[in-house]
Structure 1
Amino acid sequence: MLPVGDIVDRAFWGSERIGAALRPALDKADAALGTPWPEARASQFARYWRDGDRKDYEGGVVARQHRLTYATLAALHTTDERYLDEAADGVVLLCEQSTWCWAAHDHTNARNGWVVPDVTDPCLDLGAGEVAAQLAWVDHLLGPALDDRAPGVRARVRHEVRRRVLDPFTRRRDWFWLGIDRPPMNWSAWIHGNILPAALVLEPDAARRRHVVGLVEQGIAAYWDSLPADGGIDEGYHYWWQGAARALEAQDLLDWYDGQDPGRRPEHDARESAETAAASDIAERRAGTIRQVVAFPHRMHLGGDWYVGVADSPARPIWTWPWNVVHSWARRAGDDDAARHAASYRRFPEILWDERVTLSRAVLMLADDEWASLPGDAAPPLAGEVWLPKTQVALARSRAGTAAGLAVFVKGGHNGENHNHNDVGEVLVALDGVPVVVDAGKPRYVAGTFGETRYERWPMRSAWHNVPVIRGAEQSAGARFAARDMEVTPGEVWRARLDIAGAYDVDGLAGWRRGVVLDRAAETVTVTDEWEAASGDEPTAWHWLLAGDVALDADGGGAVVRHAAGRADAEVRALRISWDPAAAGAALDVREIDDDELAAVWGEKLTRLSLIARRNNASGTFKTFFGLG
């Protein structure tokens, strides 16, 4: 039971509109017929503990899922028995896979010392949730045809999903992603959102189904309650799609299910009416948070395909996301800017067929009549100013509604955030919508990325962010290392100010006040650092991580940066950086990029400009200027 018709609905699935939209999927499905299915081998799984690689195994599993998605969609449109057989093969392969958990998340090694899955002890993680949800959607969409073509397959699916997902979810209520010892994060919304369709389709017992749905409802509510009222996502724009967007999708499905199963309403209504006023306040607060959450993607937009990239969030993320979900929620919230930003992606029909598409998101987008009817000529709003005080992030650009000119982003927060980088006080500068003073963003995940060695990797260290190294000390990790007193003043001259001293473990550091000013008329950004009572023998260094070609001035007081990537529609102008050469000497460190995920964003290199203080003054002021080159 899901809110889209199955293969029997020929008026929909056999229509010319769906056929045209599915053309890329049909081509992929046709090309795969008769070829070997992707493998998921024990030796690939073991690599996580042997050499730290997790992509080899995950890549094979995800490739299986993609092939199953395309076969399912092809079968829906054509009812061709070849595609039905292909889909059945994919389903059984997943059912026979020893584990649905990704190696990086599996507890088998910690519990047994094993480097292969323990089939008697399933781990419920992101990967397991993804497979369960996909199998539920395949079962729902192709069920009648599978019963005719491959009797027994659907029974196998129910057995495996119950054993690996539904039973562990209901019997064990100590999964860390439930928010037992820490607030919920993207895992909670992501996994709950995948368990929901699995329960709705694959749990035959009505009482058990209602129990699972009730637990999911509690989990999604806890996720909303964990978010700040300003709707900020500390994990960044990229993980908005795997956290907040997953929660929005789950909320849609929960709301739909309420109208389909009146048998669960008495218990649900009794729970809500126990304290009517309190329940109303909670519902209103959650609705307000959701309105702000829906606005987050367009608030982080710099221009073109560039977004603010902080934490493990790439500055040039994939754009093939289910923008119909954002558009639908923005319309309900009455947020025209968020709706227009989402609608600007309607002009890309290939949005459905990126290799990372999931079956549920593809089907729900295809079935969204309002999305399908959009003309595809909307322009993104490009907000002039953004200030999220709870999350402590702020953005301002030269002029609202255009990427032309300068944009500056300032981050406060703390160093215990989700997907944290040590970056309190980070300043990013974009020119003509393209980031030039940048955050490296998300490298390829390996063993240790989320362990004790996380901050040994250069993209996570504060020395490779746009913050000072104070008397030789980088920032420290942990929630107690935080910004203080961040405030933003809007206007033609826009200002942000915060104290970042709390992010450092430096003896005697009483304060380090960072001020950032965007002068819209002059097209300049000025970063002023004022400090007092800093001690230590090593000189302070100001670091600026730059994308593009960098040339130092002969007098040592400036540099010019031109972003090599540019924009598809225009060449990006140069950004000039200047400082007082009597106060600081300059050096360039070129970081050759050998990480495939970082290279996909930045190309072959990033360059760190280090401005090294010539005197170890216990207090002082230092300014860095950014303007047109």
Structure 2
Amino acid sequence: MLWNTDGFAGPLAALCRDVAATLLPVGRALPVPAAGLRGGRGIPHATLAPLLARARADLDTAWPQPLASQAARVHGDGDRDMYEQRVFERQRRLSRAVVAALVDDDPRWLDEVADGVWLLAEQSSWCWPAHDDTRSRHGSVLATVTDPFLDLGAGEVVGQLAWIDHVLGARLDERYPGVRRRVRHEAEVRVFAPFLERRDWHWIGLDGDVHNWNPWIHGNVLVAALALCDDEVRRERLVALAAQGIDRYVAALPGDGAIDEGYAYWWNGACRALEALDLLAFATGGAWDPVAAVPALRETVAFPHRSHLGGPWYVNLADGPARPPADQPWHALHRAARVVDDAAAQRHAIVAQRTLDGPAAGEDAGLGRMLRALADREWLAATNPETPAPEASPLPRKVWLPSTQVWLARASEGSPAGLTVVLKGGHNDENHNHNDVGSVIVASDGVPVIVDAGRPTYTAQTFGPHRYDIWTMQSDWHSVPRVSGLSQPPGRAFAASDARLTRSDEIPAMDVEIGGAYPPGAVATWRRQTSLDRRAARVEIHDRWQGAGPATAVRLLLAGEVTAGPGWARVVPLDGAGPVRIAWAADAPHTLEARDLDDPMLSDVWGRSLTRLEIGVDGRTELRVTVEQERNEDERS
């Protein structure tokens, strides 16, 4: 087969279109041999034992059942989480059963797998209701089974079924003849036919708006085509279109590898692209293996450790949490880092997995990712408790990502100790956008003190016309100024400009114009400079402006225990990090406002509340705010 260049050719096509490839046959086209996992050979006890314990606990209990009333709630009160959690619970249980069936010949496990597969086949829709267009197309609040929508949920299910067929298909056929035919029928009706026949899927990116759905769905279509499509002509067409779709994503990936959605979305965006291309290389016998030759893909492998603040904490932009779930597919990062020969990224994957006491693999990341981890001998060896671990995550001393205008500086490379500062420019129409141009994050010993709140649980409102009624999306609750009584509006026109770096080893700094992020007429110019004085161990936020009206203030969002007085605030951070003292001109008035957190997506990260410090600056044209860690008497002397 040849690379499909109908209508689009990106960096992958440039490398692969003149290279003929032959797909490995169904049953051999995915890189996890079932025999290699029989009996649990090579799988660490610390990973396998708890997984099997959870699977045993599932037996003889009712399967999670997503209900029509739960699916329809997204069109009523906006709740999408109740339905989705039932779906996720069902798929996690099935993934556990698959591993149990692979390592244990007890026929109950095959029965459990068959039950889960059949439930998915009988599930009216694999699409998550919040994504389905059935209401606009058919006036229905429930899925229209004759017009299936291909979204992230449908992709995840067909990918899971494909991996099951790959590793257990023959054994299932012996015990449940016909179940594999049913799986293939559902894959054709719900995924393959819609993918080929309806080419207006927004996530393909035909309009140039390419985001993380693209590689996530295309990657799952690729897996399913390789494992479940027995018509070779149709299979090649599916693979070629999926590869071309991923090429669109790679073409949109900036040269510095940055993700405007932030670290948390890297795992289901760039990482998905890397995983899909790794599968494509395997399925073509290495003929199409472009990852190491594409600069943006090499650079994006470094994005996770460039975003690391320390321990479980990361630079969070847009909807990402500052303390993401620990159970990331670290093996996928480790594998990609091996492909591009990035030793720092490999080290970060190992250290992060061990620091968080996580298993080498788990079902939360999806069956395909779990199987790939369990079959990755290099990863299992690197994370074996008996293998010496790297001393620390790379924690670069400085980071500059021009595509997103994100700048980071820390006290010392390889250590979270002391202060780390981050300044973001960018614009207000990024993926999963928050109105946050000019936002500052400061961490003490790797723990955010001046923070970005992140986002609450997704609802129908999150991606609807009233998104910016949600407080976490507003500039008023980011560490940016309020100018002339006005906050930042959404839209690409509201942007930073003229970013300048001071590339000093002693006092690195970033200075950027952020006045353009506010409504026209709000201010003539507003420049924000953030610097780290490494010798003095001090962060400075220096704002200078002209033409601002009344009700102008500099705001900082703080996490931890906050006390304040004229010209100062003291913050005792989370996780036992060193307290910091924030200082400004004593004659500039201030207020503190606590924001109670009642959503677990926020409270699980920050605790019961966050505090907004507002410093009034009417009548001024500049303000300097400094942040220093408190030092004991011995350090002062």
Q: What TM-score comes out, normalization by structure 2 length?
A: 0.91
2:263/2:315 contact within 8 Å kept: yes
Contact 1:193–1:247, Cα closer than 8 Å, also in 2:
yes
On the 8 A contact 1:186/1:244 being kept in 2, the answer is yes
Aligned letter for 1:3?
A: L
> In the alignment, which residue of structure 2 is the partner of 1:185?
211
Q: Secondary structure at the match of 2:601?
A: helix
1:585 aligns with 2:595: no
Letter of the 1:287 partner, please give it.
V
- Give the whole-Å Cα distance in 2 for the aligned partners of 1:32 and 1:335: 40
Instruction: Name the structure 2 match of 1:409.
Output: 422
Change (3 A) 1:177 1:357: same
1:259–1:4 CA distance, 2 compared to 1 (3 A): closer
2:442 matched residue in structure 1? 429
C-alpha displacement at 1:376, in angstroms?
A: 5.3
Query: C-alpha separation between the residues in 2 aligned to 1:346 and 1:232?
Result: 22
C-alpha distance in structure 2 between counterparts of 1:19 and 1:96, whole Å = 35
> Which moved further from structure 2: 341-350 or 360-369?
341-350
Quote the offset at 1:112 in angstroms: 2.4
Deviation at 1:377, TM superposition (A): 1.2
The CA distance in 1 between the partners of 2:488 and 2:618, in whole Å, is: 21
Structure 1 regions of 5+ residues with no counterpart? 270-282
Equivalent position of 2:557 in the other structure: 545
Q: Give the Cα separation in 2 of the matches to 1:228 and 1:132.
A: 30
Residue from 239, 242, 252 that aligns with 1:213: 239
Aligned length: 595
Among candidates 480, 493, 504, match of residue 518 of structure 2: 504
CA positional deviation for 1:541: 1.2
Which stretch of the first structure deviates more once superposed, 369-378 or 307-316? 369-378
1:79 and 1:26 mapped to 2: Cα distance? 13
8 Å Cα contact 1:475/1:503 also seen in 2: yes
For 2:567, the aligned partner's letter is G
Give the Å deviation of 1:621.
1.1
What is the CA distance between 1:91 and its match in structure 2? 0.3
8 Å CA contact 1:585–1:614 kept in 2: the answer is no
> Alignment partner of 2:304: what SS?
helix
1:518 aligns with 2:532: yes
Q: Conserved in 2, the CA contact under 8 Å of 1:344 and 1:376?
A: no
**Structure 1 residue 343 displacement after superposition:** 1.8
> 1:110 deviation in Å?
1.7
Give the Cα–Cα distance (whole angstroms) in 1 for the partners of residues 227 and 296 of structure 2.
Answer: 30
Maintained 8 Å contact 2:150/2:191: yes
Distance 1:5 1:562, change over 3 A: closer
Deviation at residue 71 of structure 1 after TM alignment? 0.6
- Which among 303, 308, 320 is matched to residue 301 of structure 1? 308
Q: Is the 8 A contact 2:438 2:528 kept in 1?
A: yes
**3-state DSSP class of the match of 1:95?**
helix
Letter in 1 for 2:590: A
CA displacement at 1:330 relative to structure 2 = 1.7
Contact kept in structure 1, 2:55 and 2:93, CA below 8 Å = yes
Residues 1:81 and 2:93 are matched in the alignment? no
Amino acid in the other structure paired with 1:326: L
Render the CA deviation track for 1:419-443: whole Å, top value 9, x for unaligned.
0100001110000110000000121
Superposition pairs for residues 60-75 of structure 1, below 5 Å? 60-75=86-101
Give the aligned partner of residue 351 of structure 1. Answer: 359
CA distance in 2, matches of 1:30, 1:376: 33
Equivalent residue, structure 2, for 1:341: 348
Contact 1:314 1:601 in 2 (8 A): yes
Matches within 5 A, 1:463-482: 463-482=476-495
Structure 2 counterpart of 1:14: 39
Aligned to 2:294: 287
Whether the 8 Å CA contact 1:235–1:419 is kept in 2: the answer is yes
> CA deviation digits over 1:567-607, x for unaligned, max 9?
xxxx311111111132x211111000011111111111101
State the AA in 1 paired with 2:578: R
Amino acid aligned to 1:177: W
Contact 1:225 1:286 in 2 (8 A): no
Map 1:302-451; keep pairs closer than 5 Å. Answer: 302-347=309-354, 350-352=358-360, 354=362, 356-374=364-382, 375=387, 377-378=389-390, 379-451=392-464
Q: Where do residues 105-116 of structure 1 align in structure 2 (5 Å cutoff)?
A: 105-116=131-142
Match of 2:10 in 1: none
Alpha-carbon spacing, 1:440–1:31, altered in 2? closer, same or farther (3 Å)? same
Q: Distance in 2 between matches of 1:354 and 1:590?
A: 37
In structure 2, C-alpha distance between the alignment counterparts of 1:150 and 1:106, rounded to whole Å: 32
How much does 1:286 deviate? 6.2
Residue number in structure 2 paired with 1:272: none
Bigger RCO of structures 1 and 2 (CA < 8 A, at least 6 apart): 2
CA distance in 2, matches of 1:91, 1:558: 60
**Deviation, structure 1 residue 285:** 9.9
Q: Does 1:533 align with 2:547?
A: yes
Alpha carbons of structure 1 residues 591 and 551: separation in structure 2 relative to 1, 3 Å: same
Aligned pair in 2 of structure 1 residues 286, 476: CA closer, same or farther (>3 Å)? farther
Task: Return the match for 1:458 from 466, 471, 486.
Answer: 471
From the superposition, tell whether residues 376 and 199 of structure 1 become closer, same or farther in structure 2 (CA, over 3 Å).
farther
Other structure's SS at 2:542 match: strand
Distance 1:449 1:284, change over 3 A: closer
Distance (whole Å) between structure 2 residues aligned to residue 85 and residue 520 of structure 1: 62
In the TM superposition, residue 325 of structure 1 has moved relative to its aligned partner by 1.8
Structural RMSD (CA):
1.7
1:218-233 equivalent positions in 2, closer than 5 A: 218-233=244-259
| Superposed CA offset, 1:548-574 (max 9, x none) | 000012xx11000011x31xxxx3111
Residue 600 of structure 1 is matched in structure 2 by 604
Matches within 5 A, 1:166-185: 166-185=192-211
2:75 maps to which residue?
49
Range 309-318 or range 335-344, more displaced: 335-344
For the 8 Å contact 2:32–2:371, the answer to whether it is kept is no
- Residue deviations 1:251-284, cap 9 Å, x none? 1001111118xxxx7xx89xxxxxxxxxxxxx69
What corresponds to 1:34 in structure 2?
60
Residue pair 2:32, 2:375 contacting (<8 A) in 1 also = no
Residues 320 and 251 of structure 1, relative CA distance in 2, 3 Å threshold: same
Q: What's the offset of the Cα at 1:349?
A: 6.6
In the other structure, the counterpart of 2:572 is 562
Alignment partners' CA distance in 1, 2:187 and 2:68: 21
2:155 paired with 1:129:
yes
4+ residue runs over 6 A deviation: 283-286
Find the residue that maps to 2:460 and give its secondary structure.
coil
Matches of 1:424 and 1:539, distance apart in 2 = 19
Unaligned runs of 5+ residues in structure 2 are 1-26, 631-637
> Secondary structure of the residue that 1:313 maps to in structure 2?
coil
Q: Check whether the contact 1:346–1:376 (CA below 8 A) recurs between aligned residues.
A: no
Distance 1:368 1:354 in 2: 14
> How far apart, in 1, do the equivalents of 2:596 and 2:523 lie?
34
Are the aligned partners of 2:71 and 2:83 in contact in 1 as well (CA < 8 Å)? yes
**Residues 324 and 371 of structure 1 are in contact (CA less than 8 Å); yes or no, is this contact kept in structure 2?**
yes
- Alpha-carbon distance in structure 1 between the residues aligned to 2:142 and 2:291: 47
Displacement of 1:4 in angstroms is 3.8
CA deviation after TM superposition for structure 1 residue 113, in Å: 2.5
Counterpart Cα distance in 1 of 2:539 and 2:326:
29
Cα distance, 1:457 vs structure 2:
0.4
Matched residue type, 1:499:
E
Q: Letter of the aligned partner of 1:361 in structure 2? A: R
User: Does structure 1 retain, via aligned residues, the 8 Å contact 2:361–2:374?
Assistant: no
2:221 corresponds to which letter in structure 1?
I
CA distance in 2, matches of 1:432, 1:84: 49
Question: Aligned pair in 2 of structure 1 residues 362, 376: CA closer, same or farther (>3 Å)?
Answer: farther
SS of 2:328 mapped into structure 1: coil
| Separation in 1, partners of 2:265, 2:213 | 10
Taking structure 1 as the reference length, the TM-score comes to: 0.92
Q: Distance in 1 between matches of 2:222 and 2:614?
A: 50
User: In 1, are the aligned partners of 2:562 and 2:570 still within 8 Å (CA)?
Assistant: yes
Where do residues 484-495 of structure 1 align in structure 2 (5 Å cutoff)? Answer: 484-490=497-503, 491-495=505-509
Offset, 1:372 = 1.3
Find the aligned partners of 1:504 and 1:447 in 2 and give their Cα distance. Answer: 27
